């Protein structure tokens, strides 16, 4: 006979996470939304919690791969630029946006996709690597990052070589392990900051 104690404990945890993060909402609707049904990045909840503590108003954000994170950053009043190699998905995210915040989703493929942040005459405060060609994109992200900027590498537990490349390039990795929207399975979203910024703070 199955013991109900552990099952009840899991239900309590799920309800608690739903109140804080909206995990039940996101699983039931199969989209990354929070407890208020607002768009949220498809990162681990611990990483999202950290992002929620950062002032993003007016910050320049570049994303490799658009999605609900694009809507989240727009709602946080960031200046968002995303590059997408799936035209259908680009159009879908464009259509979902109701924010008047300055933002842009580019459609590019291959080398143009990888080098997209270098097309601008400024650097970016936050670069999210969560799309295609991740290791190649990490190399470009390092060049396109502002002096005090941060890089987010989602699924960093699976893209080990990309995380290693960032560490070898002088970045400190801060891993956020846990479940996230639409899934109770654990994965890792990592934040990377320059070690010089950490040591001088």
Handedness of CA 79, 129, 40, 48 (dihedral sign): negative
**Beta strands at 103-107 and 124-129: parallel, antiparallel or unpaired:** unpaired
Q: How many CB atoms lie within 10 A of CB 118?
A: 11
pLDDT digits (tens, 9 = 90+) for 103-155: 688 889 999 999 999 999 999 999 999 999 999 999 999 999 999 999 999 99
Q: How many CB atoms lie within 10 A of CB 128?
A: 28
* Cα 100 from Cα 35, distance rounded (Å): 23
Tokens for 103? Answer: 């933002």
| Contact call for residues 61 and 79 (beta carbons, < 8 A) | yes
Domains and CATH numbers, the chain: 4-199 (3.40.50.150)
pLDDT digits (tens, 9 = 90+) for 59-104: 999 999 999 999 999 999 899 999 999 888 888 888 877 655 556 8
């Amino acid at each position: 006979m199955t013991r109900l104690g552990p099952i009840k404990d899991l239900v309590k945890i799920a309800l608690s996470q739903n109140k804080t993060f909206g995990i039940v909402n996101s699983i039931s609707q199969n989209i990354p939304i929070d407890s208020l049904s607002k768009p949220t990045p498809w990162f681990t909840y611990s990483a999202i919690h950290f992002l929620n503590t950062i002032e993003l108003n007016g910050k320049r954000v570049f994303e490799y791969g658009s999605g609900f994170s694009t809507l989240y950053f727009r709602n946080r009043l960031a200046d968002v630029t995303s590059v997408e190699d799936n035209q259908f998905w680009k159009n879908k995210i464009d259509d979902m946006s109701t924010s008047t915040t300055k933002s842009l989703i580019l459609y590019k493929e291959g080398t143009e996709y990888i080098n997209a942040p270098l097309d601008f005459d400024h650097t970016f405060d936050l670069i999210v690597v969560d799309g295609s060609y991740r290791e190649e994109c990490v190399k470009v992200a390092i060049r396109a990052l502002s002096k005090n900027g941060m890089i987010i590498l989602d699924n960093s537990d699976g893209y080990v070589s990309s995380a290693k490349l960032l560490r070898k390039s002088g970045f400190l990795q801060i891993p956020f392990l846990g479940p996230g929207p639409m899934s109770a399975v654990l994965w890792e979203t990592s934040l990377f900051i320059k070690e010089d910024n950490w040591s001088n703070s």
